[in-house]
Chain A
Amino acid sequence: MTAAAVLEVRDLVKHYPGARALDGVDFDVRAGEVHCLLGPNGAGKSTLIKCVSGIVEPTAGEVLVDGDPLPTGAPAESLRRGVATIYQELDLVEDLRVYESIFLGHEPRRAGMLDRERMKREARTLLERLDQPRVPVDAYVRTLRPAAQQIVSIARALSQDVRLLIMDEPSAILDDQEVETLFGVVRRLTEAGVGVIYISHRLDEVRRIGDRVTVLSDGRTVATGLPADTPSDVLVEKMVGRRVEQLYPARPVGRDEVVMEVRGITRRPDVRDVSFTLRSGEVLGIGGLVGAGRTELLRLVYGLDRPDAGEVRVDGRRLPPGRPRAAIAAGLGLAPEDRKSQGLLLDWQLAANVSLADLGRFTRAGLIDRSAERSAAGAQLRELDTVPDDVTRVTRELSGGNQQKVVLARWLLHDCRVLLLDEPTRGVDVGAKAEIYRVVAELAARGVAIVVVSSELGELAGLCTRVLVMREGEVVAEVAGEQASELELLRHAVAPTHSEPVLEETA
């Protein structure tokens, strides 16, 4: 028994000058189902949902909501017909309160004045419908964690009569526990008959939350309406057009030589008394929930923030606290969590982004030797199989995975010995993930010591030599890579362990 289709998309085409973003897409969503949309970056997923939400006007094709054609290129009309979108970059006004955000643009009024009491009351009802009564309706959006902000966005969509909810990579900013909460919310919506389009790069999520799955590639629907239990490797093959032999490369084994020691480093309240050693050639994972202090720990090690106590030693020498320059000089490199806002100058050419941390080596008599800079940058990019490897290209034009390689190339150029990678695969598609894992393993094989922070515990379990799990600013467990599983790591990340954390393993 199939429910009626909430959305039907027929032969949708969108041409941009010099490019075909969509080239014949067929797609439908039934009432009460979660239809997952998969595809590598640039496959046309964003364009598709923008056509449905009315932000982009398609060149040809039809969009039907509840069987009636939807006027295209009219966001207000899409909203009126019950199509709501939760974007990846949350579009809430941070300086508004929760209830104000939920009703922004369609505030209930009484005698021309805002009816605050009614707004608060209805906001509470909406949050209860989502089984999230603990989100405070009076709080400012800015004070909420990303996960809670997302709930507010969903409540905002529900505050109008929603028939179809589009969620663009909702799990990208969430940790595993928060993802569970999100799934709960999504199930409540579907029970109420709402159709959901769910975009994600995480294949395991498709199986857990989806009913059907559609794969986009190069602007076409490669496969539409597959059952959600289609095996992952089949989906991956459809996405990338080839078989990905193996997601994770052979697990790196560390050498004996200790490169870096972190002793008792503390910055309250984020990081408390964290100690670990890092060996040459190993990949050390740091897992935990969002807010457990992982990113903050990397910032302390790298000198971006000053610790209250503790120290970092590289090759036995103590790094002066709070000085990234000194850390870089000692051989550290950091690929930050948010490549775009912290790692790269997107309008610059690749060469300049690669050389930024080490311009001194190309400076002759005060001037930069640009041909030397370009050839050295090009060599590093080629070594990482960056596409394109033309160093005069503008960084913004690269895909997320390749931008990540540009950051890595910067540190390789500097002969970096300790690489700190914060969420290295966030927002990149599965093909690019495999690429990054391969690069990490190769670097480790060359003797670079690597620290990987990730919210995807499965990734840590698959990639790392050892995994430290953090909770509330402390390291609560150390798990050897072969024994690590997503479930095991999550257990440490959420529940208090009663045993003493194992910090030193006999090698």
Chain B
Amino acid sequence: MSTATPAVAARAPRIQLQEYTLVGVLILLLVAGAILEDSFLTSDNMLNVIRQASVVGVIAIGMTFVIATGGIDLSVGSMVAACAVAGAQFADSGSTMFILGALGMGILLGGINAGAIAYGKVVPFIATLAMFTAARGLALWISDKKPTSVFQLETVRWFGNGEVIGIPSAAIVFLAVTAVGWVLLNRTAYGRHVVAIGGNREAARIAGISVPRVVFSVYVLSGICVAIAAVLVTGRLASASPIVGNLYELDAIAAVVIGGTSLAGGRASIVGTFLGVMTFALIFNLLTLMDLAVEIQQVTKGVIILAAVLIQRRDR
């Protein structure tokens, strides 16, 4: 039975509205920041913000695909550390081997998540929770609990701190991953299938989509994004540390969700995720610039998240 309200002519998909509101929130933040703190709205600081945002940003793009299928990946933070120290095992053989090592570890651990979830029918929350602890343990184990200097790896360090015509290379990587993610999600059959599975698994199956194969792929994709993030963070620190990546999973999930991707799956927005990541990076930057006490920072951040989500709800 249909509801008694006749269809409202809402032609613009709601998701775009949500992106627009987030742009509004960002502009509000920029204006408030410019008033509150002189050093905030400078090109130097803005480049600094996007460089900082790039690590969690790349992870959040992968997370968007996972959440779009109705899943979750809690292991990304620990996997960053595992990928970084795995790469560092090959640090003597040069930057390329470092990157391959990190990617290999990302694909391996992502693949284990993927296999357990897609074919082992383990609930994503549990499978990736197990990986959350296992990957951290692996990182400490491989590294013998000590950071490894990668100062000699010029290319890795370039990814973290280099520039191309004044734009941080980490930011370029983040933007490139965002662009690829956007095309993949919005313009390919694969992306359609990902969202279809999250929206209605049975309908996707009836439409002939191989559900396990697609579910498998998103966790591997998340692992690859994590490996890229591990290269960036290692480059930025000039060392591969087994204790990096703490709580990245929460930052990434929060950014994806305020960006308008539904935690239940079936609705996903790469642009929203990008804006969500930038929102969090700007908040963190502004609050540190103002040197607010940590307790005030935490309360402020919470209030801003809630406000952002509430504003979006009103628009719907």
Q: Chain A: residues with CB nearer than 8 A to chain B? A: 14, 16, 18-19, 21-22, 41-42, 44-47, 88, 168-169, 219, 302, 304, 324-325, 327-329, 334, 336, 341-349, 352, 356-357, 359-360, 363, 366-368, 370, 390, 392-394, 397-400, 410, 427
B1 touches A88 (CB 8 A): yes
A46 touches B3 (CB 8 A): yes
A397 touches B7 (CB 8 A): yes
B199 touches A325 (CB 8 A): no
Query: Known: A19-B6, A347-B266, A367-B187. Contact between A394 and B202, CB under 8 A?
Result: no
A427 touches B203 (CB 8 A): no
A21 touches B207 (CB 8 A): no
* Closest CB in chain B relative to A325 CB, distance in Å: 5
Q: Which residues of A contact B183 (CB under 8 A)?
A: 367
B189 touches A360 (CB 8 A): yes
A42 touches B206 (CB 8 A): no
* Closest CB in chain A relative to B56 CB, distance in Å: 28
Q: Mark B205-219, 1 if CB is under 8 A from A, else 0.
A: 111111000000000
Query: Known: A341-B202, A359-B192. Contact between A400 and B2, CB under 8 A?
Result: yes
Q: Which residues of B contact A42 (CB under 8 A)?
A: 2, 4, 6
A352 touches B206 (CB 8 A): no
B4 touches A342 (CB 8 A): no
A345 touches B196 (CB 8 A): yes
B188 touches A363 (CB 8 A): yes
| Cα A393 to Cα B7 with chains together (Å) | 10
A19-B5, A345-B199, A356-B207 known, 5 other contacts, Cβ within 8 Å: A16-B4, A46-B1, A329-B208, A341-B203, A356-B204
| Cα A367 to Cα B180 with chains together (Å) | 12
Query: Known: A46-B1, A342-B206, A344-B203. Contact between A368 and B8, CB under 8 A?
Result: no
Query: Main SS of the interface on chain A?
Result: mixed
Could you write out 9 A-B pairs with CB less than 8 Å apart? A42-B2, A42-B4, A329-B208, A334-B206, A336-B203, A342-B206, A343-B203, A357-B208, A390-B11
**Counting chain A CB atoms within 10 Å of each CB, which of B2, B11, B188 scores highest?**
B2
Q: Which residues of A contact B1 (CB under 8 A)?
A: 41, 45-46, 88, 168-169, 400, 427
**Counting chain B CB atoms within 10 Å of each CB, which of A16, A356, A366 scores highest?**
A356
B208 touches A324 (CB 8 A): yes
Give A172's nearest chain B residue, CB to CB.
B1
Complex partner residue of A347 from B193, B199, B210, CB under 8 angstroms? B199
B166 close to A (CB within 8 Å): no
Q: Which residues of A contact B199 (CB under 8 A)?
A: 345, 347-348
| Cα A14 to Cα B188 with chains together (Å) | 45
Q: Which residues of A contact B189 (CB under 8 A)?
A: 359-360, 363, 368
Q: Mark B237-250, 1 if CB is under 8 A from A, else 0.
A: 00000000000000
Q: Which residues of B contact A88 (CB under 8 A)?
A: 1
Number of A-B contacts (CB under 8 A): 105
Query: Known: A345-B199, A347-B266, A368-B192. Contact between A357 and B4, CB under 8 A?
Result: no
Chain B interface residue count, CB cutoff 8 Å, equals: 32
List 5 tightest A-B contacts by C-beta distance, closest first: A397-B7, A21-B4, A359-B189, A47-B4, A328-B208
B207 touches A410 (CB 8 A): yes
Give A335's nearest chain B residue, CB to CB.
B206
B200 touches A14 (CB 8 A): no
A392 touches B188 (CB 8 A): no
B165 close to A (CB within 8 Å): no
Q: Which residues of B contact A398 (CB under 8 A)?
A: 7
Q: Which residues of A contact B266 (CB under 8 A)?
A: 345, 347
Q: Which residues of A contact B208 (CB under 8 A)?
A: 324-325, 327-329, 357
Give A48's nearest chain B residue, CB to CB.
B4
| Cα A435 to Cα B240 with chains together (Å) | 67
Q: Which residues of A contact B8 (CB under 8 A)?
A: 18-19, 397
Q: Which residues of B contact A21 (CB under 8 A)?
A: 4-5
| Cα A41 to Cα B1 with chains together (Å) | 6
Q: Mark B181-199, 1 if CB is under 8 A from A, else 0.
A: 0010001110011011001
B4 touches A46 (CB 8 A): yes
A325 touches B210 (CB 8 A): yes
Q: Which residues of B contact A336 (CB under 8 A)?
A: 202-203, 206
Q: Which residues of B contact A219 (CB under 8 A)?
A: 4
Q: Which residues of A contact B13 (CB under 8 A)?
A: 349, 394
Give B187's nearest chain A residue, CB to CB.
A367
A342 touches B2 (CB 8 A): no
Q: Which residues of B contact A367 (CB under 8 A)?
A: 183, 187-188
Q: Mark B83-121, 1 if CB is under 8 A from A, else 0.
A: 000000000000000000000000000000000000000
B10 close to A (CB within 8 Å): yes
| Cα A410 to Cα B199 with chains together (Å) | 17
B267 close to A (CB within 8 Å): yes
Query: Known: A345-B266, A347-B266. Contact between A324 and B205, CB under 8 A?
Result: yes
**Counting chain A CB atoms within 10 Å of each CB, which of B10, B203, B208 scores highest?**
B208
Complex partner residue of B5 from A16, A45, A352, CB under 8 angstroms? A16
| Cα A302 to Cα B203 with chains together (Å) | 13
Give B192's nearest chain A residue, CB to CB.
A359
Give A349's nearest chain B residue, CB to CB.
B13
* Closest CB in chain B relative to A240 CB, distance in Å: 15
* Closest CB in chain B relative to A429 CB, distance in Å: 9
**Counting chain A CB atoms within 10 Å of each CB, which of B4, B183, B189, B202 scores highest?**
B4
Give A367's nearest chain B residue, CB to CB.
B187
Q: Which residues of B contact A427 (CB under 8 A)?
A: 1
**Counting chain B CB atoms within 10 Å of each CB, which of A18, A45, A348, A427 scores highest?**
A348
| Cα A295 to Cα B13 with chains together (Å) | 34
B7 touches A22 (CB 8 A): no
Q: Which residues of B contact A327 (CB under 8 A)?
A: 208
Q: Which residues of A contact B195 (CB under 8 A)?
A: 345
